Structure 1
């Protein structure tokens, strides 16, 4: 049998279910790897005592039907768990301990998961890379001079190093898809409302949803099913605003089958083209070309679709104005006293300071504009089962690439990842797939594509992803790169 860390999450689940492995054995194996091998600064807190106590409880349970029974994971550092650190990646909250557990953590516990600790995130999750004054930079495994992406960069770097079989993350503008693609992994951002515990409903702008990062499409589907929290095929207290037309109750089933022939459009343009000098690197174009060749080989129809524009609607100049207003609206809910803002880093301080000038009318207009953009995008994308873009416009970024100025930092992030945030604004599902490596192969840098789906149709994205995975051996690349 392969070493425990070389096994996919689904394979581990089968062995745990058959009692060929115990949850304690698995937890001890991954805790040892975290202690010895985290060269990328992926894990910022470990609670071995809590993990092993939880593993023993899982082993002793008569019911072994939990969707992730015995499988280890780690909370993102933005997720609260009672009795655990609650720094939010910020010096402002250094030393804070959570007194409550967030629903998304409780859902994974209820599904039988074993929490080992916490994965790195940038301050308050505001960045598309993972670096903070509190915890330092999280780097691309094997490339200490490059960022791992963010804000779920710790989650991705942990999976890529074999410190976790999969990991939950959160995504408000690309924060699952960016680090997944950067680290050569699969990352799924579900439809707004699909994850009842944290799906964007009830938030300012509705941008942020929980999701999953893993080595394979099947592992990501398994963790997403656990996040949804189905019981006997029924999603309790679902907040999904638009129900999927075709759903047999299991995303994992769709990923395992990997069946279907679909109409897939390559998207032209980005929502930031009017305000930023967006340049798509040749490596990003190569990733799209690699995906197209594989998709055509499977018999899918490939076309092209333009991203709609809603500039001028309600007097809003365009996407940049509306998105930043919604981003600031969310930042305005951060409960930090004005006298403590000096503790924030430049990006978070800029976003929060500028949120002071956001009016109720301005926020409402931005939300209405976003709804109009959603309507136009749904209409334009309707003929297509999925829409294809680069996951990132540029290769993984050097550690010194992002300026130490809040606004300039934000602009640099736009240049790196111009295709991801609009998907959050319109609430669609999207998956990042690591289809390509830069030259020289096979040791080049990962480059991925993004597939955007119809509302509630994550199963279609997983089916297409599974087909690509059968042709492009990205899972084996990750295993090969892991240290023993």
Structure 2
């Protein structure tokens, strides 16, 4: 994305031709991959033509002029279909956008469409009733993760330059791991908050990209404007030396099994960072079993917040209906108590990592899950438990409000991507990106799916 933006600014690349390229790829292969719920070719070409006029006119240009950044379909864009991943809102069109989408437009980005997300962004998989399931392009029998599954697929499969995502319990990092791309959940408060955010402050918008530099450049335009802050992209050129990096790979959730191939990737990442001169320090899992129990009622209230017409409640997914019922049963006093308990857990995690410059864990406990393996429409409680066993490492960093990034440093012998998660103290997003860029540069060469199976008779 950064290279595309530079080529557009120097007139080596036409934003109209670049946009047409992406639209053609989407039309050709996305029916199989499930990256988009809504494609907006007219809007995209209008944005691209506007970008081309600005380049020809000369003068100061927006930082990401002409590059494509689709928006996850939990965030409204004025005049564009806005489903929130739910069949109950399959035909809704947004009346207005958000401060975040205004910033993306001001940065010169091209809107190709709205990316696939599960209903209200609740599950860790992207399977619903509005569109096809989002599949990792590395293995079409496996899911892309969620809830920013469509965004990660779009980036991995070359259907966008980079993408917007949102993360309330791992929803950027989970699909980034499944799709072999970079996914960053910023510190709480770094990115402009959208309307209707719950007071839990669990959710942060953030970038999904092919490289750390691209993620940093997108974060620069998504972040709350702050003229005194060093550019996140500039941090990627800062070489960190001798950091103290804490690590753990034991989940705080009892009975959760971590796949041996995930543990192998974790050890390789540790060795990589040690080889760069950093001190890798094993510490106990900071959270005790039961610490995160307060997360469940808060998440249930989040599920209950979207107003759904009573006559359309039956169109909701079984998991959504189950969570909404639980959320409605939470009293105000219960919710206040859960928020207090949740924030105490967040402080516990933040205090445990405060003595260190960064933290290393696996992103997920398992490899990308086969389609339907986590979802259980007949037993939503089992569905929820399966998701927790799949993603035990991600949500604590939402609870603590800390920045965390998933890097695609390793793959299985069969070619499946395995994400490695790095995290840092609150508001240390810049130093985290510096470390991530260093690890990326020192790690194995980037690998992306060839997609030859999606192009019969044609090269991708």
Common topology (TM > 0.5): yes
Q: Partners of 2:338 and 2:100 in 1: how far apart?
A: 28
Residue 372 of structure 2 is aligned to residue 388 of structure 1:
no
What's the CA shift for 1:290? Answer: 1.1
Counterpart of 2:88 in structure 1 is 92
CA contact (8 A) 1:107 1:197 kept: no
Counterpart of 1:286 in structure 2 is 264
The equivalent position to 1:270 in structure 2, one of 231, 247, 251, is 251
Residue 209 of structure 2 is aligned to residue 209 of structure 1:
no
Pairs within 5 Å for 1:180-329: 180-198=176-194, 203-228=198-223, 230=225, 233-234=227-228, 248-273=229-254, 277-309=255-287, 318-329=290-301
CA contact (8 A) 1:271 1:422 kept: no
From the superposition, tell whether residues 33 and 258 of structure 1 become closer, same or farther in structure 2 (CA, over 3 Å): farther
More strand by share: 1
CA contact (8 A) 1:192 1:201 kept: no
CA contact (8 A) 2:34 2:150 kept: yes
Q: Extract unaligned runs of 5+ from structure 2.
A: 453-458
Moved more, 14-23 or 332-341: 332-341
Counterpart of 1:409 in structure 2 is 383
CA contact (8 A) 1:329 1:358 kept: yes
After superposition, the CA RMSD in angstroms is 1.8
Say how many residue pairs are matched. Answer: 448
Pairs within 5 Å for 1:53-92: 53-61=46-54, 62-92=58-88
Q: Extract unaligned runs of 5+ from structure 1.
A: 1-8, 235-247, 312-317
Deviations 1:385-425 (A, max 9, x none): 11111100001101121222221111110011100011111
Residue 23 of structure 2 is aligned to residue 51 of structure 1:
no
Counterpart of 1:438 in structure 2 is 412
CA contact (8 A) 1:307 1:380 kept: no
Q: Partners of 2:61 and 2:247 in 1: how far apart?
A: 40
CA contact (8 A) 1:189 1:212 kept: yes
Q: Partners of 1:19 and 1:406 in 2: how far apart?
A: 53
What's the CA shift for 1:65? Answer: 3.0
Q: Partners of 2:270 and 2:206 in 1: how far apart?
A: 25
User: Is the partner of 2:33 in helix, strand or coil?
Assistant: coil
Q: Partners of 1:18 and 1:307 in 2: how far apart?
A: 49
CA contact (8 A) 1:310 1:372 kept: no
User: Is the partner of 2:153 in helix, strand or coil?
Assistant: helix
Residue 415 of structure 2 is aligned to residue 425 of structure 1:
no
Counterpart of 1:397 in structure 2 is 369
From the superposition, tell whether residues 67 and 299 of structure 1 become closer, same or farther in structure 2 (CA, over 3 Å): same
From the superposition, tell whether residues 446 and 267 of structure 1 become closer, same or farther in structure 2 (CA, over 3 Å): same
- TM-score, reference length from structure 2: 0.93
From the superposition, tell whether residues 202 and 84 of structure 1 become closer, same or farther in structure 2 (CA, over 3 Å): closer
CA contact (8 A) 1:272 1:319 kept: no
